């Protein structure tokens, strides 16, 4: 019986066992002369989540060069389709204004596809977009964030967090500095908390009044 494969399920929002429904393996040998050769292989798999029965595609790829010469461990690359969500998004997107929502969706796509520089820039653009929605105008984002605090849209603490985000976006845009997964995760939590307070809470309160 085929061994279950552990991978994240976007529907169950959990690392689950997946049943292997079908797989095909392809390999090729590349000869470089002087007897040196490298073997590449790809395993194409159709897998099904044991929790919710969602079907997805998994590609595993590696070569003999991916074997650690000291430990003998094989470092395989794995690609999953649909792409798995990196963050546990708990936002009601329908409450968020269209332009901010669009940047947010694109930023999350960048995160999920490991495009970290673009994700860093995207998170900064979300703050710009929030300021635009609130008609906060200034010559740069630093001053706009200060205005958000001054006008009572953000607390001093939230302002500090937004400056962290601005800095992260600036480094990504101007210094081509790739944010770490940890930095992106913190930055996303800041944005999500901000958007929840600004739009989701207002929406709920509006529907109760």
Q: How many Cα atoms occupy the beta-carbon half-sphere of 93 within 13 Å?
A: 11
- Alpha-carbon gap, residue 206 to 209, rounded angstroms: 5
State the number of binding residues for Zn ion (CB under 5 A): 7
Question: Which sign does the torsion angle of CA 90, 129, 120, 77 carry?
Answer: positive
Q: Does 47 bind Zn ion (CB under 5 A)?
A: no
Tell me if 12 contacts Zn ion by CB under 5 A. Answer: yes
In this chain, which of 2, 4, 11, 30 binds Zn ion, going by CB under 5 A? 11
Q: Where are the alpha helices (DSSP H) in 35-180?
A: 98-112, 116-133, 141-150, 156-174
Does position 84 interact with Zn ion (CB under 5 A)? The reply is no
Distance from the first to the final alpha carbon of the chain:
58
Sign of CA dihedral 192, 198, 202, 203: negative
Among the residue ranges 10-18, 78-86, 94-102, 161-169, the one whose residues contact Zn ion (CB under 5 A): 10-18
Shortest Cβ 10–Zn ion spacing (Å): 8
Which range binds Zn ion by CB under 5 A, 3-11, 111-119, 184-192, 197-205?
A: 3-11
- Smallest distance from the beta carbon of 54 to Zn ion, in angstroms? 5
User: Rounded to an integer, what distance in angstroms lies between the CA atom of residue 49 and that of residue 40?
Assistant: 28
CB of 11 to Zn ion, least distance (A): 4
The gap from C-alpha 137 to its chain's centroid, in whole angstroms, comes to 30
55 binds Zn ion (CB under 5 A): no
Residue 52 contacts Zn ion per CB under 5 A: yes
Taking CB under 5 A as the criterion, the residue among 5, 49, 165, 187 binding Zn ion is 49
User: Looking at beta carbons only, is 84 or 204 nearer to Zn ion?
Assistant: 84
Contact 40, 27 (CB under 8 A): yes
Q: Which stretch binds Zn ion (CB under 5 A): 28-36, 42-50, 95-103, 142-150?
A: 42-50
* Residues at the site binding Zn ion, with contacts judged by CB under 5 A: 9, 11-12, 49, 51-52, 54
């Amino acid at each position: 019986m085929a061994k279950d494969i552990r991978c994240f399920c976007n529907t169950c929002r959990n690392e689950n066992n997946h049943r292997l429904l079908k797989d095909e393996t392809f390999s090729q040998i590349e000869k470089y002369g002087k007897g040196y050769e490298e073997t590449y292989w790809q395993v194409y798999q159709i897998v099904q989540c044991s929790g919710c029965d969602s079907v997805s595609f998994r590609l595993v790829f590696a070569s003999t060069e991916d074997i650690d010469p000291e430990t003998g461990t094989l470092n395989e690359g794995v690609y999953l389709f649909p792409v798995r969500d990196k963050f546990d998004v708990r936002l009601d997107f329908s409450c968020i204004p269209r332009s901010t929502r669009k940047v947010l969706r694109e930023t999350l796509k960048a995160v999920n596809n490991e495009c970290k520089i673009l994700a860093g820039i995207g998170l900064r653009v979300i703050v710009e977009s929030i300021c635009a929605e609130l008609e906060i105008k200034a010559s740069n984002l630093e001053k706009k964030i200060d205005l958000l605090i001054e006008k009572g849209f953000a607390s001093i603490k939230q302002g500090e967090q937004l400056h962290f985000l601005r800095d992260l976006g600036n480094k990504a845009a101007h210094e081509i500095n790739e944010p770490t997964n940890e930095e992106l995760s913190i930055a996303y939590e800041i944005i999500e908390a901000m958007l929840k307070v600004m739009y989701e809470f207002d929406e709920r309160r509006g529907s109760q009044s």
